[in-house]
Amino acid sequence: MAGIIKVNGVNQTIAKINKFADRKIVKLDKIMDQSLKTIASQANANASGEIKGTVKSDRIDTLNYDLGSPIPYAAYVEFGTGDDASKYVPKLPEEWQVVAWRKFVDGSGKTKEDPFLYPAVNDGIPEMIKKMKENA
């Protein structure tokens, strides 16, 4: 018959690990919140017309945020329409193309792209990731 090994303190150790992990998550969420507010601010500085000042970051849940403008035509300004969109969108990273093509209707528009969000995200996300790695 195999012997039984008794280990004391496992529950306390697990509780300490969970508490440590919770503190890290709170810290990472704070970094994300601050970084996305900075990105939104930069996007607002990049934007023009009625979109300027409308870009914001909203916290949905821990480490889950929405970033964008509530203006219904903001995506058309960001990506352009018609031929302009057909030329500009393929130059974007794939994940941005997916969003842009969802807004592409029939190719008949004549709005030239005026990116405000993508440049801010492109500049801000690497810095956010760097800060998160430093604090992970």
pLDDT (tens digit per residue) in 53-97: 999 999 999 999 999 999 999 999 999 999 999 999 999 999 999
Q: Is the pTM of this model over 0.75?
A: yes
The two tokens of residue 133 are 């790695």
**pLDDT-derived band of residue 134, with 50, 70 and 90 as boundaries?**
very high
The helix-helix angle for 117-134 and 10-46 (nearest 10°) equals 150
Residue 77 lies in a domain: yes
Give residue 111's domain range.
10-134
Residue with tokens 């017309």: 49
Residue 4 lies in a domain: no
62-99 burial, b if ≥16 CB within 10 A, otherwise e? Answer: eeebebbbebeebbbbbbbbbebbeebbeebeeebeeb
Residue 3 lies in a domain: no
Residue 1 lies in a domain: no
Residue 2 lies in a domain: no
Our count of domains for the chain comes to 1
Residue 5 lies in a domain: no
Ramachandran quadrant class, 68 (left: phi over 0; alpha: psi -120 to 50; beta: rest): left
What is the phi/psi pair of residue 36, to 5°? Answer: -70, -30
Residue 83 lies in a domain: yes
